[in-house]
Structure 1
Amino acid sequence: MIRTGPRRGLTGALALALGAAGLAVVSTATPAVAAPHYDSTPSVQIGWTDSATPKTAYPWNDETHMPLGTRVDDEGKSHTSRIYATFDLSSYEDRKIYGGTVFIQEYSAGDCAKRAIEIWRTEPVSETPTWNRAPKPLAKLDEILTPEWCPKANISFDVTAAVQDAVAQQQRLITFEIRVPEQYESDPAYGRRLNWYRSVGLTTKYNSVPKVDNKHLYNGGFPCTPAQPYSRLGGFANVLQAVGTDADPNDERGLTTEFAIWPADEPEARKVFSKEYGISGRVNTVNLPEGTLVDGESYAWQARVSDRVDFSSWSKKCYFTYDGTRPTAPTVTSANYPSSNTGQWAPAGAPAVFTFSGNGNTDVAGFQYSWNDLGVNVCEASGDLGQWVCRDPFSLPNTVRADAPGGSATVTLNPVGSGPQRLTVRSIDLAGNVSAATVYETLVRWSAPEVRVENGEPQWGQEVVLKLVPANGVTGVREYEVTLDNGEPQTRPADEDGTARFSFTATNPNGHSLKVRSRSENGFVSQEATWSAYFWPGPGVKSDVYVQTPDGSPVGGVGVQGSFTFSPPPGWTDTAAYRYSFIDGEELTEVAAGADGRATITWTPTTSGWVTLTVFAVKPDGTWSEYGNWYSFEVAATS
């Protein structure tokens, strides 16, 4: 804060500058700045005492300028007053105090040539005392003995030491006594009044010391390891992260984090790296420069946080061993899926058995494998505090540990495709480093089941019955896994011949899709078959005699009566009628729909040859379907 003069006097220019503005220098409207911070400390009591009425307390009130020192009333009676002000310091617990300044403003003076004012710290009081019950003085804090800029001067007192002590002692209240020095206190020439509007104010300069969170220290995408055995870390070991917090809102986006790291057995080789612009409650990250870490070396590290004024204490120590060496690539063999180099095909319906070997290299701890490319083991900034998260590679899908360092592992797999298939395998070490890939190619037979429609062409609103049939060579099928329209998978048990049925009602106007694969008693899971049905957006047509044959061969015959059933377009629930014609260009005939939205007509051809039946659906309001159905077939010459 700004003090209007040196400890024992006012400088004229500064007093003049403050004279017009009063205590506006404490305005809370000024822009927020970084630590340390200034705060107008809330008052608990402000008031004065009077020696002439020693049992009466005089709390501060509007429009009464507070008396200080001695004054003589109209009846010649002498009054000596002292001013007391108490402030609440409870908001500064756990904060570091850098300064304290008490402000007053004079209103009038007995003699402007004489000024002597002291400020004392007393035992704390929560209510304005009386002259007889004044609190015990503890220490004189500051004084002013110079008369300049009387009587409208803005005066400040340095009370830093007192505020620091009170906060350190966890005292919630601090009380100040403002008085004329004892040798002048009875002299009315030193008496004065303080401006009631400005009252007595305390501005505290403080800072909340930032903290480092020992529960949130991260190294290479993993939580801190505080003791042996040390974590072995590979490619992301150079990423150190720590969470700092700062209770001051103005500092929450400007923290600097320092990371100290050293070889575990060489603390004297400690190096410190820093990262600015950290956010309170989120990780701040430093990437160690290339060459900082040496392969095979164990390291210790810790972090601390600064708001550019104060540092937190150093965090606990974390440890890791750096492993920058990739393991060697594995060899891959199979007991029943021969390499494609032999020209032989794998047996139908049999799970594949593969053996991966580390060939005795003790750095190999296990293996990753996939029928597709493996990609990279990705670490992501996906933690709840923004930290990098790297998973234990052996917690990932398609990983297996070797039976011993540098040993082997055998897995049983089901191929996902047919024809030439590539199995990609690589070694993993304990630090998460991976080797170059080994690719094993084998020839796999088709194994997806066949899907057959059992009850004719699927129609919207009707039941669809599908028969599921094993692929050639796939035996011992015990069940099928069926997924309809990307829903949850369902299972259907297989009959003795390996077939099964799956039925559903076609409720989606846009059609349906289905995925299915078989599971055999020997653990084999087939490739996935897909099936779909699309519904023409116009009305449906179905005939008992005049069916549409796959090869277009003639049906029925001249004089042979056939029925035709019309069904609503997909999604229609209010079909009132159908309009149809068997002759192109002929006026359409209307037939009413039944309660189920369907209508059936009969028709007997009089000539043979190709016929196209045109049908439109009609709603109750007369709206025609946007799409019609052009149902074509050939009438045979004779029945």
Structure 2
Amino acid sequence: MTGIWPRRGLIGGLALTLAVTGLAVVTTGSVALASPHNETPPIVQLGWTDSATPRKAYDAGDRANLPLGTWQDDTGKSHTSRVYATFDLSSFEGKKIYGGTMFIQEYSAADCGKRAMEIWRTRAVDSTPTWRRAPQPLTKVAESGDVQFCPAHLTFDVGAALRDAAAKKQRRVTFEIRVPEQYESDASYGRHIYWSRGVNLTVQYNSPPKIDNTHLYNGGFACTQLRPYPKIGGFAHRLQAVGTDADPADEFGLTTEYAIWPRGDAAARTVFTRDGGRSGRVNGVTLPEGTLVDGVTYGWQARVGDGAEVSAWSKKCFFTYDATRPSTPTVTSANYPPSGSAAWAPVGEPAVFTFSGNGDRDVAGFEYSWNDLGATGCSEGGAVGQLVCRDPFSYPNRVRADVPGGSATIILSPNGSGPQRLTVRAVDLAGNVSPTTEYQVRVPSSTPEVLVESGEPEWGQEVRLKFVPADGITGVQHYEVILDSGQPETRQAAADGTAEFSFVATNPGGHRLTVRSHSGNGFVSEDGRWFTYFDPWPGVRSDIYLPGQPTGGVGVEGTFTFSPPPGWTDTVAYRYVFGFDPEAVYTEVAAGVDGRATITWTPTVSGFTELIVYAVRANGTVSEYSNWYSFAVAATS
């Protein structure tokens, strides 16, 4: 049975029940115990002895009821029998045994008016003994007299014997079932025990829960006893601990208690509880507002209960609560004038910024970012479900001050052009942050230019690009390139600051590219972006007849090359016609092994003309979309 501790406390002598969801509940009353678990251990030996055959042991067999006391066989010969049952207790190692009940089902009785039965614990045996070599009796465990029914279903309390065996780490316990000595020779007290379910044992037990001293957390940080005690800010009210319980029934029924007190004032110890914990996972409390006082050092510890047992208290943990925000920092720059001066930042030169804590010793460092600053991040993603917070200065864009309340200088490239805003705030050791300071500047454009060197990009063909630094950007050493959503690549720059980049267009939907230049002085340009997409129909290119201004002329032969629609790898032919005519008959031309085809055409008239082209697959299907290639034939010169 899974135990749940009641959340009850005493206020002014009155019992108070608090209903709180997801938060801690203060408890001052004692913990109520739930019922332990019940389990039937395996029986490893069951049988009887016979005084008439003192050297022979009789194991319980199929459909053979077990004789008890004095009885006569079919020839009238008298026998006296005792029953022995041995149970395996090894599964209860490490568990606490509360009690045990033996169940005996009679099959028949010589005289229902006479009944007497005793349960003795003997030295443990591995197999059914004989009358002559009966195991030594240790203690009488229980006895039973008359009951209302006959044959009877009897129960005996054998808990003391089980507890003693567990205390002595004995894996087996043997019980002797007998008629008391004064009646044992009287056949009217004889019985037979039912073979099917005649002897059974139920053990009442519980696995004591344990508190895991390696998983104690507060404010997202691991427990510590080392001085100086850590300062913890915003999440200090979160206490978390891991309890474990070996009983499957208690996996989701643990209750964790947290005791917290101001260091040096144990009398002010307050206890909070949280129900519904899972074995092996944190079960935390959120301290009520007002529990922690700014600047005070606290000790705390935890313990866990399953409703029947409570663990020992964990080791003690200590921290200092810090709720005070540091003061707002100031920002200056050696080379980037503030926008109020009407001056622009220098072209291609990284900014040098100095942040100052202005002597406030609570300022341990600074956080900065172009535009806005995000919230300090903590997550519930720990290995056992705990809140995880990082060292305040392990985050990107944070820098420590040279001394408490001192300053820090950084070198930073802007991530855009035009009006730009640097946002800065101070950070203390507890992770508290100050109000923000904004530093406005005006930055010239630094976007590199992307030129296509291979003509209009085609799907399935190589695309060659050239990167050119923005005006005024000098000393470019390399470019950082990201194609689509891939990993960054580097291309070294030539002496003139340019670089080349090529790739095969494999995505039917097109490609996107981001590039930025890196100069020798540490300056990183803003991102340059380039993209291309592919129309979902076959491509058409001509050596003479180009879209736009009239070209060629009447009688001037030109070539037209067809290429597969994006994604087509099995193009075998093209169907085309010059001029739009619903009744026109299309001409089909076979494609080469590369899926392309070239035709020649000589115009007979000048003026606007359309070439309509479809692609054909190997299975005969025709492309859904056609290319309407429009151009103008120049007048004959």
How does the TM-score come out when normalised to structure 1? 0.91
Match of 2:41 in 1: 41
Tell me whether 1:97 sits opposite 2:93 in the alignment. no
Match of 1:636 in 2: 634
Q: What is the deviation of 1:453? A: 1.0
Match of 2:321 in 1: 322
Match of 1:127 in 2: 127
- Give a deviation string over 1:523-543, Cα, whole Å, max 9, x none: 111111111112222222222
Tell me whether 1:556 sits opposite 2:555 in the alignment. no
Match of 1:204 in 2: 203
Secondary structure of 1:161's partner?
helix
Q: What is the deviation of 1:76? A: 5.2
Question: Aligned ranges for residues 253-272 of structure 1 at < 5 Å?
Answer: 253-272=252-271
Tell me whether 1:246 sits opposite 2:237 in the alignment. no
- Give a deviation string over 1:388-438, Cα, whole Å, max 9, x none: 111112111111111111111111111111111111111111111111111
1:63 and 1:195 mapped to 2: Cα distance?
A: 8
Match of 2:158 in 1: 159
Match of 2:24 in 1: none
2:331 and 2:345 mapped to 1: Cα distance?
A: 16
Is the 2:109–2:151 contact (alpha carbons within 8 Å) kept by the matching residues of 1?
no
Match of 1:390 in 2: 389
- Give a deviation string over 1:125-169, Cα, whole Å, max 9, x none: 111111111111111111123x33353111111111110111111
Tell me whether 1:568 sits opposite 2:564 in the alignment. yes
Structure 2 gaps, min length 5: 2-32
Match of 1:220 in 2: 219
Structure 1 gaps, min length 5: 2-32
Is the 1:35–1:250 contact (alpha carbons within 8 Å) kept by the matching residues of 2?
no
Amino acid at match of 2:260: I
Match of 1:602 in 2: 600
Match of 1:381 in 2: 380
Amino acid at match of 1:390: C
Match of 1:331 in 2: 330
2:397 and 2:453 mapped to 1: Cα distance?
A: 39
1:365 and 1:217 mapped to 2: Cα distance?
A: 27
Q: What is the deviation of 1:295? A: 0.8
- Give a deviation string over 1:602-623, Cα, whole Å, max 9, x none: 3333443333333333335543
Tell me whether 1:405 sits opposite 2:404 in the alignment. yes
Residues 474 and 35 of structure 1, relative CA distance in 2, 3 Å threshold: farther
Tell me whether 1:109 sits opposite 2:109 in the alignment. yes
1:531 and 1:89 mapped to 2: Cα distance?
A: 75
Is the 2:124–2:173 contact (alpha carbons within 8 Å) kept by the matching residues of 1?
yes
Question: Aligned ranges for residues 5-16 of structure 1 at < 5 Å?
Answer: none
Secondary structure of 1:284's partner?
coil
1:461 and 1:195 mapped to 2: Cα distance?
A: 86
Amino acid at match of 2:224: T
Question: Aligned ranges for residues 15-26 of structure 1 at < 5 Å?
Answer: none
Amino acid at match of 1:474: I
Amino acid at match of 1:580: Y
1:622 and 1:199 mapped to 2: Cα distance?
A: 83
Secondary structure of 1:305's partner?
strand
Amino acid at match of 2:332: T
Is the 2:49–2:131 contact (alpha carbons within 8 Å) kept by the matching residues of 1?
yes
Match of 1:21 in 2: none
Equivalent of 1:611, from 609, 618, 623? 609
Q: What is the deviation of 1:62? A: 2.5
1:540 and 1:63 mapped to 2: Cα distance?
A: 90
Residues 591 and 387 of structure 1, relative CA distance in 2, 3 Å threshold: same
Amino acid at match of 1:183: Q
1:616 and 1:92 mapped to 2: Cα distance?
A: 80
Secondary structure of 2:214's partner?
strand
1:52 and 1:596 mapped to 2: Cα distance?
A: 103
1:76 and 1:599 mapped to 2: Cα distance?
A: 114
- Give a deviation string over 1:161-216, Cα, whole Å, max 9, x none: 11011111110011111122222222223222222222211111111111111111
Match of 1:627 in 2: 625
Residues 114 and 467 of structure 1, relative CA distance in 2, 3 Å threshold: same
Q: Higher mean Cα deviation, 317-326 or 584-593?
A: 584-593
Match of 2:487 in 1: 488
Secondary structure of 1:395's partner?
coil
Amino acid at match of 1:96: K
Q: Higher mean Cα deviation, 87-96 or 194-203?
A: 194-203
Residues 569 and 63 of structure 1, relative CA distance in 2, 3 Å threshold: closer
Q: What is the deviation of 1:587? A: 4.2
Q: What is the deviation of 1:454? A: 1.3
2:403 and 2:327 mapped to 1: Cα distance?
A: 15
1:352 and 1:103 mapped to 2: Cα distance?
A: 87
Question: Aligned ranges for residues 226-237 of structure 1 at < 5 Å?
Answer: 226-237=225-236
1:296 and 1:583 mapped to 2: Cα distance?
A: 86
2:616 and 2:177 mapped to 1: Cα distance?
A: 98
Secondary structure of 1:164's partner?
helix
- Give a deviation string over 1:215-266, Cα, whole Å, max 9, x none: 1111111111133232211110110111111111111111111111111211
Amino acid at match of 2:89: L
2:563 and 2:108 mapped to 1: Cα distance?
A: 103
1:447 and 1:316 mapped to 2: Cα distance?
A: 58
2:74 and 2:589 mapped to 1: Cα distance?
A: 118
Tell me whether 1:582 sits opposite 2:581 in the alignment. no
Is the 1:281–1:385 contact (alpha carbons within 8 Å) kept by the matching residues of 2?
yes
Is the 1:449–1:529 contact (alpha carbons within 8 Å) kept by the matching residues of 2?
yes
Q: What is the deviation of 1:361? A: 0.5
Q: What is the deviation of 1:490? A: 1.5
2:103 and 2:592 mapped to 1: Cα distance?
A: 95
Is the 2:211–2:244 contact (alpha carbons within 8 Å) kept by the matching residues of 1?
yes
Q: What is the deviation of 1:52? A: 1.7
Match of 2:9 in 1: none
Q: Higher mean Cα deviation, 590-599 or 240-249?
A: 590-599
Identity %: 66
Residues 476 and 107 of structure 1, relative CA distance in 2, 3 Å threshold: same
Is the 1:418–1:445 contact (alpha carbons within 8 Å) kept by the matching residues of 2?
yes
Match of 2:281 in 1: 282
Query: RMSD between aligned alpha carbons?
Result: 2.0
- Give a deviation string over 1:458-480, Cα, whole Å, max 9, x none: 12222221111000111111111
Q: Higher mean Cα deviation, 111-120 or 125-134?
A: 111-120
Match of 1:7 in 2: none
Residues 75 and 540 of structure 1, relative CA distance in 2, 3 Å threshold: closer
Is the 2:112–2:151 contact (alpha carbons within 8 Å) kept by the matching residues of 1?
no
Match of 1:4 in 2: none
Secondary structure of 1:393's partner?
coil
2:446 and 2:336 mapped to 1: Cα distance?
A: 15
2:544 and 2:516 mapped to 1: Cα distance?
A: 36
Is the 1:68–1:81 contact (alpha carbons within 8 Å) kept by the matching residues of 2?
yes
Question: Aligned ranges for residues 68-83 of structure 1 at < 5 Å?
Answer: 68-73=68-73, 77-83=77-83
Amino acid at match of 2:552: G
Is the 2:107–2:191 contact (alpha carbons within 8 Å) kept by the matching residues of 1?
yes
Residues 183 and 459 of structure 1, relative CA distance in 2, 3 Å threshold: same
1:604 and 1:144 mapped to 2: Cα distance?
A: 120
1:203 and 1:559 mapped to 2: Cα distance?
A: 108
Q: What is the deviation of 1:51? A: 1.6
Match of 1:444 in 2: 443
Q: What is the deviation of 1:573? A: 2.8
2:142 and 2:589 mapped to 1: Cα distance?
A: 109
Is the 2:106–2:198 contact (alpha carbons within 8 Å) kept by the matching residues of 1?
no
Q: What is the deviation of 1:638? A: 4.9
Match of 1:429 in 2: 428
Is the 1:226–1:316 contact (alpha carbons within 8 Å) kept by the matching residues of 2?
no
Is the 2:245–2:251 contact (alpha carbons within 8 Å) kept by the matching residues of 1?
yes
Is the 1:298–1:319 contact (alpha carbons within 8 Å) kept by the matching residues of 2?
yes
